[in-house]
Structures are given as structure tokens and as C-alpha cells.
Amino acid sequence: MMGIFSRNNADIKNNETKMENKTTEINNNSNGTALKVESLSKIYDSAAGRVVALANVNFTIKKGEFVSIVGPSGSGKSTLLNMIGALDRPTTGKVYINGINIFSLSDSQIATMRNTLIGFVFQSFNLINRTTVQKNVKLPSTIAGMSHSDANERTQKILEALGIADKATQKPINLSGGQQQRVAIARALVNNPTIILADEPTGNLDTKTGDDVFDMLKSLSHKFRRTIIMVTHNPELAKSTDRSILIRDGRIDTDVVN
Ligand code: ADP
Ligand code: MG
């Protein structure tokens, strides 16, 4: 995986500069901090009633940290990841990524931020099955405005780094679960994001394949200083991350360094 992830610090800087030009609310003390979550709450109001999914959550994550989020089903883990990734707006509270208060941005700025600063990996892969592996991985870079030749080159390098270059012309549906999750990780990495958010990335994989996918995330974190936040139900994997945050009933119960 040499070169490809370390080479692009300039790209990250460019993204940061672009974002900073677009927004007024910047926390200048963000050196070394990838993410800050401040008094975050999310309340869902539905026909079934009012659900407090997150209640006043606060934490900070350093650049390069690999953090696991654990907790019972329904405790608010996915809601938390969705707020951090700006897939949904919180009811109250703030999320700072690279010092930028993301919910102070307009919707179109949020979309740009999400595409360039955040990479998502989901339990169910969420790949586009009617097109090829190569096109799946390349898509976010095209959306970000990268030229086709640069995007093709970067896609090829990432597919090689993740050991799936030979699958480039296949459709995701024809790959194994582990290979599909590698494609999803490749797609998450293509724009060299500040933060990778993974919601139970090994949840649909057998133990051995899940461990391989986990090892890949861990090496991204340690060798290339990617900041990773991973929800998992697997206590062994959680213990192998730098830090585990336990969520219960929408609140942080414990936050421990492993
Ligand atoms: P986890 O990922 O820890 O299993 P979630 O974040 O998915 O938990 O859900 C937290 C709580 O919020 C649950 O009670 C869930 O039913 C509720 N919830 C999640 N999404 C919605 C939604 N879109 N509308 C209403 N309630 C929701
Ligand atoms: Mg969930």
C-alpha cells in the first residue's frame, strides 16, 4: 500500500483550504484533532412516539486514531455515525471535522464536505451492482471534480493496494462478501478522506474474512494515519482498536484506551 495514501497530503490540504474558504466558523485549535462532537443530541419524532437516540454526547478524536463504538442494538451507534458523516442533521449540538463546524455549512457545502473529507463503509457494502468494481471505486472522485485520467490512475492504485485489481471489470454482485467489502473500502479511500466511518463493516462476513477486513482497516490507521471510527459487535475486534467508546441509551457509558 506504499505511496498511495501518504502521497496525497497535498490533496487533503487542498480540501481543507477549500472548505475553510467556504465557511466562517472554524475552530483554529484543531491541530491534531480530526473530530470533535459537542453536546450532540438526536430526537426522532414518529407515529410510534418520541425516541431520544442520542443525548448530549461529547468526545474528541485525534488524527490517526482508530476508535471502536460498541453498545447494545438500538443504543444510538448508527445515529452517531450518521451525524458525524452528515448523512442527517442533529437535533442539537455540533460536529467539527478538521475544525469546521459542519452543520454551519449549506446543504451543498455539506455534500462536498461529505464526499471529500469522509469515507463511509457499511455492513451491507452499498455498492452499485449494475456497474463495475472500477466504476464503483472511481465514482466519488469524479463527483469531486477529479479529471478522468487522474481518477482512473488513483482508482487503479487503490485497487492494487487492496488486492482487488484483478476484479476491476467485474460487477460487485459476482464477488465474495470479503471482496465486496474491500471494494467498499477502496471507494471510501478514493478521495483520501480525513475520516473513515465504518458501521459494522464485518457484520455480514464470516470470522476469517471479517478479521482480514479489520486488519486492513487497522493497517490503514497505523501505517497511513487514517482516522477511523468503527461500530462493531465483536468485543475482540473492539479490543484491538486504540480506544473503545461504549454507548448505552444514547449516552457515552465508558470511553477507554485499549
Ligand atoms: P444502533 O445502531 O445502536 O443499533 P440506532 O442508532 O440505529 O441504534 O437507533 C437508535 C434508536 O433510534 C433506536 O431506538 C431506533 O429505533 C431509533 N431510530 C433510528 N433511526 C430512526 C428513524 N429514522 N426514525 C425513528 N427512530 C429511529
Ligand atoms: Mg446500527
Atom of ligand 1 nearest to the CA of 75: 3
| Per-residue confidence (pLDDT) for residue 28, from 0 to 100 | 47
CB 26 within 8 A of CB 20: yes
Ligand 1 mutation target, pool 45, 46, 51, most atoms within 8 A of CB: 51
Residue nearest to atom 17 of ligand 1 (CA): 53
- Inform me whether the pLDDT recorded for 29 exceeds 90: no
φ and ψ at residue 49, rounded to 5 degrees: 125, -165
- Alpha carbon distance 9, 75 (integer Å): 36
Q: Is residue 31 part of a domain?
A: no
The 243-248 sheet, strands edge to edge: 118-122, 195-199, 227-231, 66-70, 243-248, 251-257
- Mean pLDDT value across the chain: 89
The percent of residues in the chain predicted with pLDDT above 70, rounded, is 88
* Residue 77 in contact with ligand 1 by CB distance below 6 A: yes
Minimum-distance ligand 1 atom for the alpha carbon of 76: 6
- Per-residue pLDDT of 64-86, as tens digits, reads 999 999 999 999 999 999 999 99
pLDDT at 40 > cutoff 70: yes
| Measured distance CA(202)–CA(207) in Å, rounded | 8
Residue written as grid cell 465557511 = 23
The answer to whether residue 42 is domain-embedded is: no
Q: How many domains does the chain have?
A: 1
So what's the pLDDT on residue 5? 57
229: domain CATH number is 3.40.50.300
Q: Is 53 in the pocket of ligand 1 (CB under 6 A)?
A: yes
Dihedral angle, C-alpha 187, 158, 233, 92, nearest 10 °: -50
**In this structure, which ligand is nearest to the CA of 248?**
1
Does any domain span residue 52? no
Q: Which three cell numbers stand for residue 123?
A: 455492513
Q: Is residue 56 one of the residues assigned to a domain?
A: no
Asked whether residue 200 is assigned to any structural domain, the reply reads yes
127 assigned to some structural domain: yes
User: Which helix (DSSP H) or strand (DSSP E) does residue 35 occupy?
Assistant: strand 33-46
Within a domain: 87 = no
Nearest to 189 by CA among 213, 165, 163, 154: 154
Mean pLDDT, residues 201-215: 94
Asked if residue 41 belongs to a domain, the reply is no
Nearest-angstrom CA–CA distance, 66 and 227: 6
Quick one: pLDDT band at residue 3, thresholds 50, 70, 90?
Answer: low
- Answer yes or no: is the C-beta of 76 below 6 A from any ligand 1 atom: yes
pTM of the prediction?
A: 0.88
Range of the domain at 184: 9-23+63-80+107-257
